[in-house]
Structure 1
Amino acid sequence: MSETTPVRTRRSGPVAAALVAGAALVASCASPQTSARGGDADEVKVALVTSVSGPLASYGEQYLQGFEAGLHHATDGTGEVDGVKITVLEDDDAGDPAKGVSLVKKRIGQGVPIVAGTVASGVATQIAPVAEQNETLYISGPAATDEVTGAGDHTFRSGRQTYQDVVTAKAILAAGSGGAGGGRVVVLAQDNAFGQANVAAVREVLGTDGTTVAPVLAAPSATDLTPTARKVLAEDPDMVFVAWAGDTAQSMWATLEQQGVLEQATVVTGLDIRASYSVFGKARDRVTLLAHYVPGATRTPEAEAMRAYFAEKGWQEDLFSPDGFNAAQMVVEAVEAGGADGDTKAMIKALEGFEFSGVKGPNTVRAEDHALLQPMFQAEFDGRTPTVTRTLDPAEVAP
């Protein structure tokens, strides 16, 4: 992944669609005589592997809807690139790494040249090496673990990563404290890939200037979180950084309230999906929110296009809608560059340094490690819905 790859820009929407070149992609695992599209010269297949069932199913739905809207926008509603149909194959990994890897291997064996997704960090970290070994382009989804960044030449991100969340939290806290450091930070998370990535990122970003970072990790299957909250209190924290995903969020926030954690320390957390807004309960007005995305808060052409498409479908934009939209834009860019020969190196070169306007604002694929540089937000609840109080420039929160 070259650091000297020149930065290019791409216009999105109808003008971009008119400029897209035809593509016939060849999977690396196929023989030179085998079409990467199952023998159909007018079709390119893209495998979307993500959670349609399981604890992160709602995240997967948002990603898939965003992808559909993004593909519609980037191809001017045709679903085609210069007459070549893009066929999307959806697979449910259910949040299971073994199942996700099996699905990806199956699709690669069928000659599918591009894989996109997933929402589960544990699945993404297993897909990336498979893509690398088979020289298949992999555009990761909302999975936030930092391990995906720099995982290989063939792996790219379409969403943010944990480090960007934590740097956003640091900027928020610095603004509130006048830049003062020190103190004790507890990371409250689940004991899985996502939670462990948050612990590592908080230690790296906040564990400076005399600040001590201690993890309190709960089993992902835990339903009684009182012992976990008591562990947090026992650490006597100045700040609690909460990184939590899934169906137990409401129980977690209620337990923190009941056990007095919100009174003892400043609590910082990431804004989750719409369905989670009510789970904060009494904690709503006492937490500091960092936000990957706040629905309705941006006014880019892509955001407006996504909202128009969603309105026609009866959908609501949500936290991970932009990630799917980004992934579709990146797929179109890759197909344009890959050409009829399915040149994987050309696809990689096209995406490295790729600058494009997304739902959130300006995006840049960093050439050297394929991180996606993007804006991040600080938010607060205004009644029942969150509003943006501060937008952080991509450079401010770059990994």
Structure 2
Amino acid sequence: MRMRSTHLVSGRPLQALTLITAGALLTGCAAAGTAGSEAAGAKDGAPVKVGLVYSRSGPLAAYGKQYMEGFTAGLAYATKGTGKVAGHAVEVAEQDDAGDPAKAVAAAKDLAGKGYKILAGSTDSGVALQVAPLAAQNQLLFISGAAATDALTGINKYTFRSGRQSYQDILTAGTMLVDAKGKKVTVLAQNSAFGQANVAAVKSVLEAQGATVGSVLAPPSATDLTPFAQQVRSGGADLVFVAWAGATAPALWTALDQQGVLDSTQVVTGLAGTASYPVFGPAAAKISFLAHYFPGAAGSTPVETAMLDGVTKAGGTPDLFSPDGFTAAQMIVHAIEAGSPTDTARMVKALEDWRFQGPKGEEQVRAEDHALLQPMFTAKLTGEGASAGPVLLHALPMSASTPPLKTIAG
């Protein structure tokens, strides 16, 4: 398996017309220049090129690192250590989008122009929503990573996801709540695609159960979070759902604790990466946690063990988004092996309705809208400081957190 990295020059956001025109040109070039070579490539074992466009730097760099470590372990596992699928070496090119949609689009266009048929990555929801249309315009298989926005599900027939989506988080949280009828709920989040997706998901789930849902949204760049904690406290909610990502999480929890939010109402949030565990301190006992994943959550299955061992032996630390990378590699290998190394339509068909054992347990790609059905978890944090760690409360099967069915656009 050959790994290579490239660096991008920051560009201005592209207008929709520019994207469509560029997509048409790239698609036309691919049709004219590779139709004959694809058949030959399938015969002579030419490398299958995979582009990973993810946050190697920027505010979500820690998540990008976890994704990349999981992907490397997953590719080794899925190819039995050979780095090859059906006689084709998997050639991976990493590109850093730094969490910037314009950089991600530029990288995706560059890779498409070089003949790449497969894209993966997208740590950030806003990035994923810009890359997905470009993948459709150029008929590229796109497997998004940690990006959780629900809008990605069903966005087009070429887009899949290897992580969970916000609706699955909310459904998991819902299993921990008492009757929501007549209750007031506040969603505290960043004013980003991720945050807005969580607001929409909480409204969809809990308003249907009779709750009134409002929100407090902070700019992603905000570092002084005390005013937002005060706004939450003054709102007098019966339940506060916190959806937060990035390096400002410690400041957020400090502000919520100092402003008395954790003592005045029930607070539910997603369990973030291992680095966040000590941040909660004694307040951890006051918080209910839903969990996308934490090491050991799946019960040490053979696949989870392979991921944990693979990441650790490579010098990494298994964490929250390790499964997203690992699962992406599993999906790519299956798409090539059961579909085609060159025909995107066949790769798409191979992934639709595929049921497999991932590091979280049994998972399935829903054919109708490409949602990834998967287990979810609830947990509590015990201990403080360096000894803080999660204890599993419940492992929910994929049927317990199934998002609403959507129709694939286009």
TM-score scaled by length of structure 2: 0.87
Any gaps of 5 or more consecutive residues in structure 1?
1-25
Q: Which residue of 1 aligns with 2:311?
A: 310
**Kept in 2: contact 1:47–1:112 (CA 8 A):** yes
Change (3 A) 1:29 1:326: farther
Q: Which amino acid aligns with 2:344?
A: T
3-state SS, counterpart of residue 224 of structure 2: coil
3-state SS, counterpart of residue 194 of structure 2: helix
Q: 90, 97, 105: which one pairs with 1:86?
A: 90
Q: Which residue of 1 aligns with 2:69?
A: 65
The structure in which a higher percent of residues are helix is 2
Change (3 A) 1:36 1:48: farther
Q: Which residue of 2 aligns with 1:373?
A: 373
The CA deviation string for residues 5-24 of structure 1, in whole angstroms up to 9 with x for no partner, is xxxxxxxxxxxxxxxxxxxx
Q: For 1:1-399, list aligned pairs within 5 A.
A: 29-34=29-34, 35=37, 41-173=45-177, 177=178, 179=179, 181-298=181-298, 299-339=300-340, 342-383=342-383, 384-399=388-403
Q: Which amino acid aligns with 2:371?
A: A
Change (3 A) 1:36 1:286: farther
Change (3 A) 1:264 1:68: same
The CA deviation string for residues 180-200 of structure 1, in whole angstroms up to 9 with x for no partner, is 532100000011111111100
Aligned length: 369
2-structure distance, mates of 1:143, 1:45: 22
2-structure distance, mates of 1:385, 1:121: 27
Deviation at residue 33 of structure 1 after TM alignment? 4.1
2-structure distance, mates of 1:212, 1:29: 52
Deviation at residue 83 of structure 1 after TM alignment? 2.2
TM-score scaled by length of structure 1: 0.89
Deviation at residue 256 of structure 1 after TM alignment? 0.5
Deviation at residue 382 of structure 1 after TM alignment? 2.4
**Kept in 2: contact 1:146–1:161 (CA 8 A):** yes
1-structure distance, mates of 2:346, 2:317: 36
Deviation at residue 308 of structure 1 after TM alignment? 1.9
Change (3 A) 1:369 1:233: same
2-structure distance, mates of 1:87, 1:292: 29
Deviation at residue 387 of structure 1 after TM alignment? 1.5
2-structure distance, mates of 1:301, 1:137: 28
Q: Which amino acid aligns with 1:238?
A: D
1-structure distance, mates of 2:218, 2:131: 25
Deviation at residue 235 of structure 1 after TM alignment? 1.3
Deviation at residue 208 of structure 1 after TM alignment? 2.6
Q: Which amino acid aligns with 2:172?
A: T
- Structure scoring higher RCO (CA < 8 A, sep ≥ 6) equals 1
1-structure distance, mates of 2:109, 2:46: 23
**Kept in 1: contact 2:297–2:377 (CA 8 A):** no
**Kept in 2: contact 1:223–1:248 (CA 8 A):** yes
**Kept in 2: contact 1:27–1:112 (CA 8 A):** no
**Kept in 1: contact 2:356–2:363 (CA 8 A):** yes
2-structure distance, mates of 1:53, 1:344: 30
The CA deviation string for residues 166-225 of structure 1, in whole angstroms up to 9 with x for no partner, is 01011111xxx2x45321000000111111111000000111333110110011111111
3-state SS, counterpart of residue 215 of structure 2: strand
Q: Which amino acid aligns with 1:171?
A: T
Any gaps of 5 or more consecutive residues in structure 2?
1-25, 404-410
The CA deviation string for residues 74-133 of structure 1, in whole angstroms up to 9 with x for no partner, is 101000013210011101000001110110011001100000011100000000000011
RMSD: 1.8
Deviation at residue 38 of structure 1 after TM alignment? 12
The CA deviation string for residues 279-320 of structure 1, in whole angstroms up to 9 with x for no partner, is 213321110000000212222211111122123212211000
